[in-house]
Copies of this chain bind each other. A is one copy, B any other.
Amino acid sequence: MNSKEIKIDQIAQAIARVKTIAICGHVMPDGDSLGSELALGIALRKMGKEVLLFSPDPVPEAYTFLPMASEVKHQLEDNNQKFDMFISVDCSVPDRLGDFIKLIQLSEQVVIIDHHAGSTVFGDLYLNDPEAAAAGEIIYDILKVLPVNIDSDIAQCLYVAIVTDTGSFRYDNTGPETHLRVAELLRVGIPAARINKQLYEEKPLVGLKILKEALDTLTLSGCGRIAWMCVKREVLQKLGAHDEHVDGIINYPRMIKGVELALFYREMGQDRFKISFRSKYNLDVNKLAALFGGGGHSRAAGCIIEGDFESIQKKILEAALQVLEDAER
């Protein structure tokens, strides 16, 4: 057994010994965080455990169709409630548990299951595998060791975890093992096509309206390597839209032929802008964001800048052209 398999075995054995278990994912939960938490919760209940599911933020509407999603709680019934075990899924930064950071103190044993690189080591059993495409992949491996059958409900949750965190198997975190696990999940007999429709074809109308407004602002640099769009507050207000409706719009400038760097300006308030950076193949946008006090990953980063919009755009474009030139030299 390799060290990951040993850790999976240890976690499975520890789980088998306890009775009351709290599970929580990270703030602003995504498909992997929720899918992993629900899959684990359903499986442990099937094993006779007393399981409570928590999330610091509400379940986004897109994921409310998941089995047992309605049982996810946003506060403890009792602030002194004790648990034999707390399992943090898809989260190894205590602050990202929001209020549920207190579960660490309230539980006899703390287990961390995550796949994000560069996180904090905490808890009694810590398994963070950045090679895993999704926390859902690790949960799958743990459930394979536990005396529980992966039924359709569990398989649906794990499928959502994996499909969302791999961008429908398009991202470079997707390996042969990902497809092998998903083949097994489909064998259980889940309605995968319907799940994909629920995930990707039930978007609020206002999202398309914002997309239209954002496309109205689409601009390319002279070299065609940089493209950007912006959304002002007044547009969001006019459409009755929230910040969440803007998510994903930055993918549009990036999908243009020849574009390596996409920028998205979101007005946060008077003279205050959040700028998102995305690169396609090679550019390290983390470096670019860092020039303006921001950060992130090499392909996705962001920063917040205050000032006049015109001069912010000028500054960002100059820096972006420079970083691009340095990278392609």
Contacts and interface: CB of A to CB of B under 8 A. Distances in A.
Interface string A137-180: 00000000000000000000000000100001111101111111
Contact of A256 (B163, B187, B208): B208
* Interface residues of A, dominant DSSP: helix
A47 interface: no
Given A182-B179, A183-B179, A280 B201 contact: yes
A197 B171 CA distance: 9
Chain B CB within 10 Å, residue with most, of A171, A176, A194: A176
Interface string A225-254: 000000000000000000000000000101
Nearest to A212: B215
Nearest to A180: B183
A208 B218 contact: yes
A203 interface: yes
A101 interface: no
Given A174-B192, A180-B183, A203-B255, A280 B169 contact: no
A41 B27 CA distance: 51
Interface residues of A, number: 45
A184 interface: yes
A183 B176 contact: yes
B201 A255 contact: yes
A220 interface: yes
A268 interface: no
A205 interface: yes
Contacts of A193: 170-172, 174
Contacts of A200: 170, 255
